[in-house]
Structure 1
Amino acid sequence: MMASPIYIQIHNEIKRSIESGKWNVGDRIPSEREMSVTFGVSRMTLRQAIKTLVDEGILERRVGSGTFVSRQKVQEKMSSGVTSFSELMRAQGKEPSSKTISYHIATPSLSEMEKLSLEEKDLVLRMERIRYADKIPICFEIATIPEKLVQSYNKEEVTSSFYHVLEESGHIIGHAQQTVSSMLASEQISEYLGIRRGDAILRLRQTTYLNDGQPFEYVRTQYVGDRFEFYLEK
């Protein structure tokens, strides 16, 4: 079985520690320096593991205070219809495009296994993209898809119009579970999206299902706060 990257292994260990009660909701976890020593890795590797947990809403960073186990947030159920980013942009008269930052087959993290109902032996496609509307960066996205679902598609098909390709292959896209929260842009995200570090970001975490109830996509997206808004319909 393919070995997980070191940062994913650390992600899993921290997640297990939280789930076992070592750190409770609202607790401050040790500093990056302390944890990098504990795990015997560089600060950069440790920071990447923390970032994945922050993106998933498991941890939260507080400027000047450190990193904490996230408090549960009030959730609002959005309309159940599933629309791809490309379809959404075209519906608003804008031309969608994207830039792929990374695209690789990997072993899933514990979070990805849970969200996509996978086993340890399964593999996933994990890709990072910047999404644009009329060439203006709107969001940064990390998407995880079961590898067995994309085996017959090439990279261009997956990165350009995955929902359309799925439907063309006979799959029926069902519903999605979505969670929206706010955060501040990190230095890396600010560079990707052409904003300032600390600017407001809307974070969307979404698990999308086929019509038969099978989860096929787990996405963590960060939207520029003043370039995108969510519309809820009841």
Structure 2
Amino acid sequence: MNELVLAPERLAGEEGGPLYMRLQTMIRGAIMEGRLVPNDALPAEREMAASLHVSRVTVRKAIQGLVAEGVLRQRHGSGTFVSSGVGRVEQPLSRLTSFTEDMRSRGLIPTASWLERSIGMPTSAEAMILGLSPAERVARFNRLRLADNEPMAIERAVVPARILPDPLVVENSLYDALAAVGMRPVRAVQRLNAENVGGADAAMLGLAPGSAALSIERISYLPDGRVVEFTRSHYRGDAYDFVAELNLS
């Protein structure tokens, strides 16, 4: 990155106010003017503080605020980057669709980084939700979901292994694989709550540890009422909105 993009004379030229807010204004301006573009890396905090003649506390506060706004994103161990142009995605709660269908309908390219595709024994909670007998196993599908190469969500899904005995048949869309064997769900119940993510999940989503995320549990049903899918997900709170339409009856 050109060092003139973030220079002390530019910071001094910003309107008055706390230094961290002036730094935020300077970074936003550089992005709006195209001097910083999506996926550009910012210098390390120490370097920025030294070059701008401010404290690291000021730099950290400015960056944390812009990360919370979605202007910047942080990858654990990699640094701070200008966010891509994916923006916030709105997902209606009234339709049962897959992540792949959601992203394609918005003109975005959905991809996935597989974390696990395996057959194994269910947890007691999974066995109860899926209505499994003690000897039955589940197929696990854990992956990082991306849109236009921007991390959006981590999904951990399980289905009865008798339905998908070979987990490798799922390449992109789990629902496409279920539809191919006549087992696509027709309705689902979702439970949403706010959660702070940390550790590996935060790193995979490109978030700072402790960032807000949407935690979602979904139970999907076949036409005859049987449960076919149980999924637990973490969606980036700065990139995903769930929208419900309400009618007065």
Q: TM-score range by the shorter chain?
A: 0.5 to 0.7
> What is the CA–CA distance in structure 2 between the aligned matches of 1:207 and 1:123, rounded to whole Å?
17
Q: Percent identity?
A: 30
Partner in structure 2 of residue 183 of structure 1:
195
Gaps of 5+ in 2: 1-91
Gaps of 5+ in 1: 1-77
CA contact (8 A) 1:99 1:130 kept: yes
1:158 corresponds to which letter in structure 2?
V
CA contact (8 A) 2:152 2:236 kept: yes
1:207 corresponds to which letter in structure 2?
I
Aligned partner (choices 195, 202, 215) of residue 227 of structure 2: 215
Partner in structure 1 of residue 119 of structure 2:
105
CA contact (8 A) 2:108 2:147 kept: yes
- TM-score normalized with structure 2 length: 0.59
> What is the CA–CA distance in structure 1 between the aligned matches of 2:126 and 2:184, rounded to whole Å?
22
1:172 Cα offset (Å):
4.4
Tell me, what secondary structure is at the counterpart of 1:119?
A: coil
1:205 corresponds to which letter in structure 2?
E
RMSD over aligned CA atoms reads: 1.6
Alignment of 1:2-17 (within 5 A): none
CA contact (8 A) 1:204 1:220 kept: yes
1:171 Cα offset (Å):
3.2
1:173 Cα offset (Å):
2.2
Matched, 1:193 2:193: no
- TM-score normalized with structure 1 length: 0.63
Residue by residue over 1:47-83, the C-alpha shift from the partner in whole angstroms, topping out at 9 and shown as x without a partner, is xxxxxxxxxxxxxxxxxxxxxxxxxxxxxxx845310
Distance 1:141 1:214, change over 3 A: same
CA contact (8 A) 1:203 1:223 kept: yes
Partner in structure 2 of residue 205 of structure 1:
217
After the TM superposition, list the runs of 4 or more consecutive aligned residues in structure 1 that deviate by more than 6 angstroms: none
Tell me, what secondary structure is at the counterpart of 1:229?
A: strand
Partner in structure 2 of residue 13 of structure 1:
none
> What is the CA–CA distance in structure 1 between the aligned matches of 2:242 and 2:104, rounded to whole Å?
16
Partner in structure 1 of residue 36 of structure 2:
none
Matched, 1:233 2:245: yes
Matched, 1:122 2:136: yes
Alignment of 1:38-187 (within 5 A): 79-151=93-165, 153=166, 155=168, 157-187=169-199
